[in-house]
């Protein structure tokens, strides 16, 4: 079996592909900045054997001492945060953001998610199975970490890199990127990806993650960026091109979900998701893998909520399920 893909981007920066088995994302990009005094790792991969083994092999090949390595986590998803407790040495720092830390700190988080998913039409007989199989439930850090919280605009320095924290809510509430103004390089986490579109989803009743995400795209589009280093897949040399493509994708999704609700008269998020077009190798909604149904429903809800905030839909509760209608 071959080892992990390790790419040297420049003399003091490396990208390692940490595998995500049986996952359409295929791998997480973990970046390593080598400094004279301390190193910085950006994102880690999941807390599972395949990721731990790939990371260990990468660190060995690069001769990296974890006692001299701090970790920056862009957001709460397990493919980015999962190994932080395993890799973090006693005297090392782990940088994170407060909004995502608050989500992870919610007592009975998965019971809450279970309840909310039912309110949006997800079938009761599938909810528990979906929760049990959710990567965030299975592959998150095994113990609590004392994070060093960073705010938007904070600056951290490693080697020749002057890294400015850029808060980009949408994919998660506190998603935070890193910008190097001298190189004009942007470590984007899951805010901007190239040949796949970041999942924008919610289960919350009053959230508007898609609205936040579009505002974050507007902010980043105005920045001077020569190279985007994303959390998955290849590097991006034209961030404005990719942002426009992502905007077009969501406009299409928004038009589609508006049409679906008009045709159905009323729809919950699960019903809307079942009618939407998805790039998945399946004959129909009934053949979708359970977790793909889960993520699709959360994404459908984000688009429904966007229209509700924009005043083109309203929601009401019927038999403990939330339905959307066109205004």
Q: Domain boundaries in the chain?
A: 6-326
pLDDT of residue 279: 84
Helix (H) or strand (E) holding 278: none
Burial (Cβ within 10 Å: 0-12, 13-18, ≥19) of residue 153: exposed
* CATH homologous superfamily of 6-326: Ribonuclease Z/Hydroxyacylglutathione hydrolase-like (3.60.15.10)
Tally of CB atoms within 10 A around 307: 20
Report which of 288, 273, 74 is spatially closest to residue 176, judged by C-alpha positions.
74
Residue whose pair of structure tokens reads 């390692």 in the numeric block: 16
Residue count (the chain)? 327
Task: Give alpha helix (H) positions in 26-185.
Answer: 49-61, 78-81, 84-87, 98-104, 109-119, 124-133, 135-138
pLDDT of residue 282: 78
Across the chain, which has 327 residues, the per-10-residue mean pLDDT values are 88 97 92 97 97 97 97 98 97 97 93 94 93 91 94 98 98 98 98 96 94 98 98 98 98 98 97 92 86 95 98 96 97
Report which of 306, 279, 275 is spatially closest to residue 292, judged by C-alpha positions.
279
pLDDT of residue 269: 98
- Reading the block at residue 321, the tokens are 């399920």
Report which of 75, 140, 89 is spatially closest to residue 110, judged by C-alpha positions.
140
What three-state secondary structure class fits 301?
helix
Query: Which residues fall within 8 angstroms of residue 103, CB to CB, at 6 or more apart?
Result: 76, 109, 172, 173, 174
Cα–Cα distance measured from residue 254 to residue 248, given in angstroms and rounded to the nearest whole number: 10
- Reading the block at residue 228, the tokens are 């985007």
Helix (H) or strand (E) holding 249: helix 239-264
Could you give phi then psi for residue 38, rounded to 5 degrees?
Answer: -140, 150
pLDDT of residue 1: 52
Cα end-to-end span (Å), the chain = 57
Rounded to two decimals, what is the model's pTM? Answer: 0.96
């Amino acid at each position: 079996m071959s080892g992990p893909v390790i790419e040297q981007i420049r003399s003091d920066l490396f990208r390692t592909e940490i595998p995500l088995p049986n996952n359409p994302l295929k791998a997480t990009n973990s970046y390593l900045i080598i400094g004279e005094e301390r190193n910085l790792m950006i994102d880690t991969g999941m807390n599972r054997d395949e990721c731990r083994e790939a990371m260990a092999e990468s660190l060995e090949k690069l001769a990296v001492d974890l006692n001299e390595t701090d970790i920056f986590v862009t957001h709460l998803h397990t493919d980015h945060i999962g190994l932080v407790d395993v890799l973090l040495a006693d005297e090392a720092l782990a940088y994170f953001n407060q909004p995502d830390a608050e989500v992870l700190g919610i007592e009975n988080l998965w019971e809450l998610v279970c309840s909310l998913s039912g309110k949006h039409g997800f079938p009761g007989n599938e909810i528990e199975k979906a929760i049990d199989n959710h990567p965030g439930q299975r592959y998150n850090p095994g113990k609590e970490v004392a994070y060093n919280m960073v705010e938007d605009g904070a600056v951290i320095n490693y080697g020749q890199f002057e890294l400015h924290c850029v808060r980009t809510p949408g994919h998660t509430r506190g998603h935070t990127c890193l910008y190097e103004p001298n190189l004009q390089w942007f470590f984007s986490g899951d805010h901007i990806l190239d040949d796949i579109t970041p999942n924008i989803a919610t289960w919350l009743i009053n959230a508007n993650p898609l609205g936040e995400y579009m505002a974050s795209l507007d902010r980043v589009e105005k920045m001077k960026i020569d190279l985007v280093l994303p959390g998955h897949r290849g590097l991006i040399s034209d961030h404005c091109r990719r942002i426009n493509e992502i905007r077009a994708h969501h406009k299409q999704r928004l038009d589609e979900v508006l049409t679906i609700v008009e045709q159905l008269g009323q729809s919950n998020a699960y019903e809307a998701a079942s009618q939407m077009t998805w790039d998945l190798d399946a004959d129909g909604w009934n053949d979708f893998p359970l977790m793909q149904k889960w993520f699709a429903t959360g994404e459908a809800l984000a688009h429904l909520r966007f229209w509700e905030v924009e005043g083109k839909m309203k929601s009401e509760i019927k038999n403990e399920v939330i339905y959307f209608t066109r205004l």
